[in-house]
Structure 1
Amino acid sequence: MISRLMGLDGLDLRKLGDWSDHALSTTAYTAEEIQQAMGEFGAFCFDLVLERRKNPGDDLVSSLVQAADEADGVTEMQITKLVLGLVVAGHETTMTTLGNALVFLLTEDRAAWARISTSRDEAGAATEQLLRTIPLGDRVALPGMLRRATEELEIGGVTIPAGAVVAADTFSANHDPAVHPETGEGEWPDLFAAVDVPTLTFGAGPHHCLGAWLARMELESGLHSLAARLPELRLAHPVEQIEWREGLLTRSPLTLPVTW
């Protein structure tokens, strides 16, 4: 989907996945491997920006280039970094969330899988709860979203000095019983219960995800279509045998053998 929006239909998706993995690596690759991959990725995005300026089309990259050219002070490097970030974020996070959601639905909540197949509305309701309750990141590699305090503040009786880097644990916040009392400790939520308060899955304020509604639409459509097409879908092996992608900021199945 992100490739179509950005006019990248001819891009090798395996190459895109490899670049994304390097961009989000913590220990999966060496510093030299990351530098090389990001050099290739950056060069691709830079050439893409130049090409769309020369031959604009009806795609997101062309729109970004046009908007940047109409503004003052936007450099070629800034446009390139924005394009790179959108490609990674638009591919990696949706793929990760879809994989994790399937693991949950095919093991913990088979009844929900059947209900999701009935309509897009049901899939949409479940998508909101899945986004709230299933972590996107590897909580060992990344205990929270890293932020820098712009001024001194106090949280829970602890003073955070200005300039300090903190890890904001949005996963714990999304399970705060004072905000989400409907889920008891150790219990799975009702996937079709309305999420009546904002969650922090997509961040907040100036850090709110640009693609939040696109991600929701992709997950809702993907889960409903798959459940409707393959209602008897199930894991081919016990969940304990799932091979996971490790050493990245995100965590999801490396492979997910299924049958139906």
Structure 2
Amino acid sequence: MAENSSVLITGASAGIGAVYADRFARRGHNLILVARDTARLNTLAEKLHTQYGILAEVLPADLTSPVEVATVARRLREDARIGVLVNNAGMSLSGTFLTQSEADINRMVAVNLSAVLTLAHAAAVGFAAKGLGSIINLSSVVGLAPELGMSVYGATKAFVLYLSQGLDLELSPQGVYVQAVLPAATRTEIWERSGVDINTVTGVMDAGDMVDAALVGYDRRESVTIPSLHPEELWAHHEQARQAMLAEFRHEHPASRYLKNNGD
């Protein structure tokens, strides 16, 4: 990553996105801050410029809108100064699959999945052409845990994890690094917006601690970073088991457990 590269951050007005903005500004990077709330973006941009002397540009966009996502994607394609994309914007919903409305589900999919995919593609094409660049995609541990009961939210985050791992394998030979960050419960406004009282949840990590840990993984060029996972070997075992299955997928006959007995 070029020392003077700019960083484009979605969902930058608060929470995890605002912390990423602060940390990259502290490292001397100019910023392009993307979110819906122009006033909050302007306040953050002015603060970071005053504190760190960097340039912080505001790019207001509602990532539920394909037109506005396309505007951000165009900026990623056309601005050669951008060397890092932080795909952070996301939303969650209260309730269950049966109680959530189709309209709300589609809005969440638009932000958590479609926008992430569109912006990652826009960044990747330019980064690969230069042979340099980084994409940080915010997934979630919920994408590994259907037991948590957040079916659609978890599915979008599982998509982001798979996409990130696949892109890291595909793009790393071309000089592009892709990191999936999987926070667990983190103290941000997403809880209030989804109707959950954060004070009823245990084991909630501070957003600053989460981002600082994620950036350690970033500096180490980890493909997957899970800040709250203490026994690192558990993820290693997960990956070993997954990879061990790969060779077993190539059989022309079904596994014996799926064969009917002669008497059936």
TM interval, short-chain normalised = under 0.3
Taking structure 2 as the reference length, the TM-score comes to: 0.27
Q: Which one scores higher on RCO, CA 8 angstroms, separation ≥ 6?
A: 1
In the superposition, the TM-score normalised over structure 1's length comes to 0.27
